């Protein structure tokens, strides 16, 4: 494993780990992008290499990665282990997610970009004899940062994608002091803006992720194209 990636993964684990002793400082708060639809007991994201009929996921494409669930702190580690089994192949990544932790989603998006994978918001339909990409799907909250990690990015015709602001809700029902919350949001937005530029997306999109200024919304296709969130039709 490259040293830099090992460090990133260890930091993510450390941020999510429960303190082993009372003397240790608490883990830093993790930013989340509040989804427009609240997930109910949705499991952590899993990655499954799926094989369908010929051309199921496009001309010459019969295999894809089903990425399903909420992005948690150790999801990038799970994907790193999964991607080692791809042996250099580049099946598209079909995403069905209600969101999760922003920093983990950006780390995951960077791995997807390094692997050279296209991304698409689409549910994997397993109801038939062979699985197939569905015409719908969901990508809410921090899922956006995974989607834009793709080398090509698209939505299934009936898929939902939301733009959701950053939130820090505090712990144990106690909200952060307002000044601290604003500083935390500002710091995350700086990192998000850099990530957007790195992925070839308009850094100006970060303004819409500021919970102090905007609420979540479902963007039009014109908005998605204008900010380079999508790069092609499905």
User: Domain containing 167 — which CATH number?
Assistant: 3.90.226
In a domain, 21, yes or no: no
Integer-rounded Cα radius of gyration of the chain: 18
The residues, ordered by sequence, that sit 6+ positions from 154 with a Cβ below 8 Å of its Cβ are 118, 119, 120, 121, 230, 231, 232, 233, 234
Q: Measure the CA–CA gap between 144 and 25, rounded to whole angstroms.
A: 31
Asked whether residue 213 is assigned to any structural domain, the reply reads yes
Q: How would residue 73 be classed by pLDDT, with cut points 50, 70 and 90?
A: very high
pTM as predicted? 0.82
110 located within any domain = yes
Q: Which residue has the higher pLDDT, 38 or 181?
A: 181
What does the pLDDT look like over 139-176, one tens digit per residue?
A: 999 999 999 999 999 999 999 999 998 877 655 567 77
* Cα–Cα separations (whole angstroms), residue 4 to 107, 164, 230: 12, 29, 29
Q: What is the pLDDT of residues 11-45, one digit of tens each?
A: 333 232 223 333 333 444 555 665 544 455 679 99
Instruction: Confirm whether 221 is domain-assigned.
Output: yes
The CA distance from 40 to 38, in Å, is: 6
Residue 202 placed within a domain: yes
How many Å apart are CA 157 and CA 135, to the nearest integer? Answer: 6
Q: Does residue 220 form part of some domain?
A: yes
- Name every residue whose Cβ is closer than 8 Å to that of residue 97 and which is 6 or more positions away in sequence: 45, 67, 68, 69, 70, 71, 138, 139, 140, 141, 143, 146
Inform me whether the pLDDT recorded for 234 exceeds 50.
yes
Question: CA of 230: how far to CAs of 166, 178, 181, in Å?
Answer: 21, 35, 31
Alpha-carbon gap, residue 94 to 183, rounded angstroms? 34
Give the chain's domain count. Answer: 1
Q: Which domain holds residue 128?
A: 3-16+30-226
Coil, strand or helix: which one is 12?
A: helix
Torsion of CA 194, 197, 202, 203, to 10 degrees: 20
Structure-block tokens of residue 73: 């702190």
Residue that has been written with the tokens 């199921």 in this structure: 56
Region of residue 149 (phi > 0: left; psi between -120 and 50: alpha; otherwise: beta): alpha
3-state class (DSSP) for residue 73: coil
Phi, psi of 12 (to 5 degrees): -65, -45
User: How far lies 108's CA from each of 44, 51, 206, 228, in Å?
Assistant: 13, 23, 18, 19
- Report the mean per-residue pLDDT for the chain: 84
Can you give the pLDDT at residue 180? 83
Contact between 65 and 108 under an 8 Å Cβ cutoff? The reply is no
| Three-class SS state of 46 | strand
């Amino acid at each position: 494993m490259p040293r830099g990636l090992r460090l990133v993964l260890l930091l993510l684990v450390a941020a999510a780990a429960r303190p082993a002793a009372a003397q240790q400082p608490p883990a830093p708060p993790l930013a989340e992008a509040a989804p427009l639809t609240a997930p109910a007991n949705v499991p952590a994201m899993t990655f499954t290499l799926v094989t369908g009929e010929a051309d199921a996921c496009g001309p010459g494409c019969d295999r894809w990665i089903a990425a399903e669930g909420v992005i948690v702190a150790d999801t990038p580690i799970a994907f790193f282990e999964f991607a080692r089994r791809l042996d250099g192949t580049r099946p598209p990544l079909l995403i069905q997610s209600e969101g999760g932790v922003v920093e983990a989603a950006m780390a995951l998006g960077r791995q997807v970009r390094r692997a050279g994978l296209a991304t698409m918001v689409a549910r994997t339909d397993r109801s038939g004899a062979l699985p197939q990409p569905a015409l719908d799907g969901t990508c809410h909250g921090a899922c956006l940062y995974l989607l834009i990690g793709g080398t090509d990015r698209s939505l299934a015709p009936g898929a939902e994608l939301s733009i959701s602001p950053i939130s820090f809700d505090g712990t144990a029902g106690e909200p952060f002091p307002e000044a601290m919350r604003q500083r935390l949001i500002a710091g995350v937005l700086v990192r998000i803006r850099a990530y957007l530029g790195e992925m070839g997306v308009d850094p100006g999109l970060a303004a819409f992720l500021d919970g102090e200024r905007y609420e979540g919304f479902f963007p039009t296709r014109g908005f998605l194209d204008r900010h380079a969130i999508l790069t092609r039709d499905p």
